[in-house]
Amino acid sequence: MKRFGKLTSLTVAALATATMAMSGGAQAQSDPLKVGFVYVGPVGDHGWTYEHNQGRLALEKEFGDKVKTTFVEKVPEGADAQRVINQLAASGHKLIFTTSFGYMNPTVRVAKKHPDVAFEHATGFKRDKNVATYSARFYEGRHVAGLIAGKMTKTNVIGYVASFPIPEVIRGINAVAIAARSVNPDVKIKVVWVSSWFDPGREADAAKTMIDQGVDIIMQHTDSPAPIQVAESRGVWAVGQASNMSAFGSKAHLTAIIDNWAPYYVARTKAVLDGTWKSGDTWGGFKSGMVQMAPYNSAIPADVVALAEKARKGIIDGSVHPFAGPIKDQSGKIVVAAGEVAPDGMLLGMDFYVEGVDGKIPK
Amino acid sequence: MLIRLEPRGEASRAMVYQSPLIAVVLTLLASMVMFWVLGTNPLQAIHAFFIEPISTLDGLAELLVKATPLVLIGIGLSLGFQANIWNIGAEGQLTLGAIFGGVLALAFFDVDTPFLLPAMLIAGIIGGMAWAAIPAFLKTRYNTNEILTSLMLTYVGLLLLSYLIHGPLRDPDGFNFPESRLFHDAAVLPIIFEGTRLHIGWLIALFVAVLAWILIVKHIIGFQIRVIGMAPAAASFAGFKEKRLVWLTLLMSGGAAGLAGVIEVAGPIGQIVPVVSPGYGFTAIIVAFLGRLHPIGVVLAGLLMALTYLGGDSAQITMNLPNAVTGVFQGMLLFFLLASDVLISYRIKFGSARTRESTA
C-alpha cells in the first residue's frame, strides 16, 4: 500500500490514535473477545460461506463465554466492504475474519486505522503487521478427486464447471487433469466458465451441455448444488465442492472436497486470547485439516478407494505432491521437470492449462 | 362484498408530497411488528437500524458516501421519467462510466497532475452517455422500446467490465486476480473530512441536483420535459421536438449514471473491481420515485435508502438480525409508497352487486 498518499496516511494515523484511546477505555479485561466475520454470501446450508460460518460456530463451542462472535453476511465486494469491516473494528471486535478475495484492499485499509485489531483475510496476498492471510490447498483435494475420476470415467471425458479464470480455479482444473491422466492417460478435461460463484441456472446448463458432449463425470468450482442434481438425474458421476453435497444427489456424488476452517479459526482465536497472535500467511491442506474429503461413494471399487486414500496419506506425509514433474503445458512444453515439484509461486500465479485440458483460458 | 378503486377527479397536491412520509411511517410501524414477531425488542431494533448508523461522524460520512451514487443516478433518471422516457439501464451506464474513467486513471498511472481527476470525471460522463446513446438512437430511429434496450445493455456492460478486468486491466502484480492496480493519489477523489471516507463526490451530487432543479423549474427544456410527460399530444401540437427530448433525457441520465460510476471507482473503491456497484442503477429507480422525481426529494430519498443499507449492517452487528431484514425493509417502503400513491389517485368503494353489473 505504498501508493497511499501523505494526506491519507496522516488521517489514518490521527484516527488510529483516537480509536485506540476509545477502545482501550471501553474494553475491560474480563469482557469476552469479540470476533467478527464478514461473509460474501448468505450463510445458507452448504458452500463457501456456510463453511466459514461452521468455523465461527466451532469458535463458540470451543471457547464458550470467552468469545462473542458476530457476522455480517452478503457484504458486496465493492465500496461497502470497507464500511462493514470498519464498523466491526470500531464496535470493539479485536479479531476480524474477512472471508472473500475482494475484501483484500478494504481489509488492509481498515487495518491501518485500527492497529490494535487483528485482521485475517482469506485467499488474498497483501499482508501487514496486523493483517494475516490464509487459504487452503484445495488442489490437494482435487488431486484425490482427479484420481477417482480418472478411474471411474468410461468416456474418458471429465467436465468441469468453473467460475472465474483466477489461479485458484485454474490450479484446481490442472490438479484434476494431472491426477486423472496419471491413472488414465486418455482422459481429457472440458471446462465451461459460468462467470459466477453461484448461479444454479448457468451451472446446470453447463453440466447438461457437457453431459450431452459425452462427459460422464462433472466437477465444479462453483457453489450451487445444481451440477450434482443434473448429474444425478442424468445418471453420471459428480464431485461436490466446499461441503458434502451428497444430499443433493447421493448416487452421483463420488465425494466432495470440504473446506474446514474450524481448526485455523480456533488456533488464531486462541493466539489472540493468549496474546501471541502474529501476522503471517497460512496455506493449509490435508495435513492441517483445512481440506478434507467427504465420504467416498459406496459404488467406488475398493481398489480405487485405496488408491485415493494412499494419495491423501501421501500428501499428508509429503511423499506425494499433486504438481510433481514432469508437467507439460498444452503445447507440450515441460513446465515442471521430472523429479521436481511446482514451487508455491508458480501455483499461486497459475495462468496456463496443463496437457489434457481442452480449450483456452479466457483472457 | 366487492372492493373497487374509483378514480378521484384530481389528485391532492399536498398528498402527493406527503405520501412518501406516510410510507416511511407505515414502514416503521410494520417493521416494529416484524421485529416483535422475530422476538427482538422493536424499539432497540429501530434504534439499531436508523439511529445507531448515523450516531457518529464516521457513520454520517458513510451515509453520504453510500447515498452519493443513489442521488446522482436518481436525479438523472427522474429527468427522463418525467418525460415518460424509461431508462432502466443506469446500472450499465454506471459500469461504462467506471470503465471509461478508470481506464484513464490506469493509462496515466503515476502521472501526478491536477488535470487527471477532472478528465476522469468527464470520461465517466462520456462513458455513461455513450451507453445511453444506443437506446436513444434505437428509439428515435427505429422506435424500439428503450426499457428493453437499456436494460439489456446493462448485462452487456457488466460482461464488458468482466472481460476487461480479467484481461487488459488486471493488476500486473496481482497474481492474475481480477482487480486493477490501486489508483495513485492524483486519480483518487479528495476527502472532505479527514479520517472519514467522505469524498467530494457528495458535493458533486448536490451540485448536479441543483443543476437539475434549475433545468426543470427555470428552463424551457424542463418545461418541455414536463409537458411531454403529462400530455404528449399537447407537446406535439406545441411543436416540441420529441426526438430531441428523448436524446437529451437519455444522455443526461446516462451521463449522471456514468459520473456515479467513475466517482465510485475514484472514491471509496480506489481501483477497478469486477463488481463496481451492488445494483445502484436499479435501486436508484426506487429512489427517483420515492423522491417524487423532484431533485430535493431525490436527495432525501437517496439518504433514506442509504440509511436502510447501513441500518442493515448495524442490525446484523448489534442485534444479530439477518441480512434479509434490509430487503424486507426496502420492499415494505416501496409497497407502502405505491399503496399510498394508488389511494391518492383512486378512492376505495365498497360496491354492491348491482354496481358490479353496471360496470361489467
Of B229, B221, B104, nearest to B169 by C-alpha is B104
Does residue A269 surpass a pLDDT of 70?
yes
pLDDT value of position A29: 52
Q: How far is B177 from chain A (nearest CA, A)?
A: 6
Statement to judge: residues A142 and A130 lie in one domain: no
Candidates A86, A104, A195; nearest CB to B162: A195
A143 and A14 in a common domain: no
Q: Does B143 touch chain A (CB under 8 A)?
A: no
Q: Evaluate whether residue B210 is within a structural domain.
A: yes
The average confidence (pLDDT) of chain B is: 90
Residues A28 and A61 in one domain: yes
The shortest CB-CB distance from A11 to any of B191, B269, B277 is to: B191
Chain B contact for A154, CB < 8 A? no
CATH number of the domain to which A116 belongs: 3.40.50.2300
Residues A44 and A76 occupy one common structural domain: yes
For range A206-234, the mean pLDDT: 96
A343 in contact with chain B, both atoms CB, cutoff 8 A: no
The lowest-confidence range among A31-35, B45-49, B353-357 is: B353-357
A3 vs B184, B277, B322: nearest CB: B184
**Would you state the cell numbers that stand for residue A160, as one nine-digit string?**
468441469
| Sheet arrangement for strand A33-38 | A67-72, A33-38, A95-98, A118-122, A131-136, A281-284
A165, A220: one domain: yes
Angle at CA of residue A119, ends A117 and A125, nearest 5°: 145
The single-letter code of the amino acid at A147 is L
Neighbours of B92 (CB within 10 A): 32
Supply the pLDDT for residue A7.
Answer: 38
Q: Long-range contacts: A262-265, Cβ < 8 Å, 24+? A: A262/A54, A262/A55, A262/A58, A262/A59, A263/A288, A263/A289, A263/A290, A264/A55, A264/A134, A264/A288, A264/A290, A265/A55, A265/A56, A265/A58, A265/A59, A265/A97
Q: Backbone phi, then psi, for B117, in 5-degree steps? A: -60, -50
Report the gap between the CA of B346 and the closest CA in chain A (Å). 39
| B 227-256 → A contacts, CB under 8 A | none
Question: Quick check: is B359 in a domain?
Answer: no
Q: Is residue A19 scored above 80 in pLDDT?
A: no
> How confident is residue B90, by pLDDT bands cut at 50, 70 and 90?
very high
- Count Cβ atoms within 10 A of the Cβ of residue A328 and give its class: 0-12 exposed, 13-18 middle, 19 or more buried: middle
Query: Whole-angstrom Cα distance, residue B86 to residue B250?
Result: 9
Residue of higher predicted confidence among B231 and B124: B124
DSSP string computed for B257-315: HHHHHHHHIIIII-S--S---SSHHHHHHHHHHHTTT-HHHHHHHHHHHHHHHHHHHHH
pLDDT value of residue B360: 39
Which residue of chain B has the CA closest to A113?
Answer: B195
| Helix or strand run (H / E) with residue A290 | none
Candidates A37, A60, A74: best to mutate against B (most CBs of B within 10 A) is: A74
Instruction: Give the distance from residue B183's alpha carbon to the nearest chain A alpha carbon, in angstroms.
Output: 8
CB atoms within 10 A of CB B292: 19
Q: 3-state class of B319 per DSSP?
A: helix
Residue type, A280: G
Nearest CB among B175, B178, B264 relative to A348 is that of B175
Report how far Cα B326 is from the mean position of its chain's Cα atoms. 17
Q: Is B355 within the bounds of a domain?
A: no
Length reported for chain A: 363
Cβ–Cβ below 8 Å for B66 and A80: yes
Is residue B16 situated within a structural domain? Answer: no
Domain presence at residue B207:
yes
CB-based contact (8 Å) between B308 and chain A? Answer: no
- Among residues 60-79 of chain B, which lie with CB inside 8 Å of chain A? 62, 65-66
Chain A residues closer than 8 Å to B166 by CB: 164-165, 362-363
Over the Cα atoms of chain A, what is R_g? 22
- Kindly state whether A44 is in contact with chain B, defined as any CB-CB distance less than 8 angstroms: no
When pLDDT is cut at 50, 70 and 90, the band that residue A204 belongs to is very high
Q: Is residue B71 part of a domain?
A: yes
Complex ipTM, two decimals? 0.89
Read off the C-alpha cell for A87: 464498523
In a domain, A248, yes or no: yes
In tens, the pLDDT along B270-322 reads: 999 999 999 999 999 999 998 989 999 999 999 999 999 999 998 899 888 88
Cell of B346: 383512486
pLDDT higher than 80, residue A305: yes
C-alpha cell at A331: 503445447
Q: With residue B56 as reference, give the H or E element that holds it.
A: none
Which chain B residues contact residue A83 at CB under 8 A? 62, 65-66, 197, 310, 313
Give the model's pLDDT for residue B1: 62
B230 CB-side CA count, 13 A: 6
A22: chain B residues, CB-CB within 8 Å: none
A131 shares its domain with A158: no
Contacting residues of A for B174, CB less than 8 Å apart:
125
Is the separation of the CB atoms in A188 and A276 below 8 Å? no
Same domain (yes/no): A227, A145: yes
In a domain, residue A112? The reply is yes
The structural domain count of chain A equals 2
Give the mean pLDDT of B323-337: 86
| Cβ count within 10 A of residue A12 | 20
Q: Is residue A189 within 8 Å of residue A180, measured between CB atoms?
A: yes
pLDDT exceeds 50 at position A24:
no
Mean pLDDT of A291-312: 96
- Are B24 and B46 in contact, with CB atoms under 8 Å apart? no
Mean pLDDT over residues B109-134, rounded?
96
Q: Domain tally for chain B?
A: 1
In this structure, are residues A220 and A241 in contact, taking their beta carbons and an 8 Å threshold?
A: yes
- Say if B162 falls within a structural domain: yes
Q: Round to whole Å and give the CA distance between A62 and A69.
A: 12
Of A120, A136, A152, which residue is a domain's last? Answer: A136
Domain termination site, one of A109, A136, A163 = A136
In a domain, A273, yes or no: no
Give the Cα separation of B26 and B29 in Å (integer): 5
Amino acid at B16: V
Q: Which residue in chain A is spatially nearest to B53 when comparing CA positions?
A: A87
Q: Could you tell me which residue, B318 or A233, shows the higher pLDDT?
A: A233
Any idea which residue has 497532475 for its cell? B113
A87 & A206 share domain: no
Position with higher pLDDT, A106 vs B340: A106
B182:A3 CB<8 A: yes
Q: Does residue B303 belong to any structural domain of this protein?
A: no
Phi, psi of A81 (to 5 degrees): -55, -45
C-alpha–C-alpha distance, residues A175 and A317, integer Å: 18
Contact A165 B162 (CB under 8 A): no
Query: Are A130 and A154 contained in the same domain?
Result: no
Cell representation of residue B115: 488535470
d(CA A117, CA A95): 6
Per-residue DSSP letters for A31-72?
SPEEEEEE-SS---SSSHHHHHHHHHHHHHHHHGGGEEEEEE
Q: Which helix (H) or strand (E) holds A362?
A: none
Q: Is the pLDDT of residue A41 over 50?
A: yes
User: Rounded mean pLDDT of B27-31?
Assistant: 92
Mark which residues 181-200 of A lie under 8 Å from B by CB: 195
Question: Which alpha helices (DSSP H) does chain A contain, by range?
Answer: 6-26, 48-63, 79-90, 104-113, 138-152, 167-183, 200-212, 226-234, 262-274, 302-317, 344-348
Q: What is the pLDDT of residues A131-180, one digit of tens each?
A: 999 999 999 999 999 999 999 999 999 999 999 888 899 999 999 999 99
> How far is A142 from A46, CA to CA, in rounded Å?
18
Q: How far apart are CA A259 and CA A223, in angstroms?
A: 12
Confidence (pLDDT) at A4: 36
Q: Is residue A267 part of a domain?
A: no
A170 dihedral zone (left: phi>0; alpha: psi -120 to 50; beta) = alpha
Whether A156 and A56 share a structural domain: no
Residues A237 and A326 in one domain: yes
Taking CA–CA distances from A6, the nearest residue in chain B reads B185
Residue numbers of the domain that contains A192: 138-258+291-348
Q: Chain B residues with CB inside 8 Å of A53's CB?
A: none
Beta bridge partners of A128: A131
Give SS3 for B241. Answer: coil
A69 DSSP β-pair partners: A35
Mean pLDDT of chain A: 90
pLDDT, position B273: 94
- Give the helix ranges, DSSP H, for chain B: 13-38, 42-46, 57-82, 90-107, 116-142, 146-166, 201-218, 220-230, 232-237, 242-264, 280-290, 295-319, 324-345, 353-359
Q: Does A349 touch chain B (CB under 8 A)?
A: yes
> Among residues A80, A102, A136, which one ends one of the domains?
A136
Preceding peptide of A326 cis, ω within 30°: yes
Q: Is residue A203 assigned to a domain? A: yes
| Same structural domain, A182 and A309 | yes
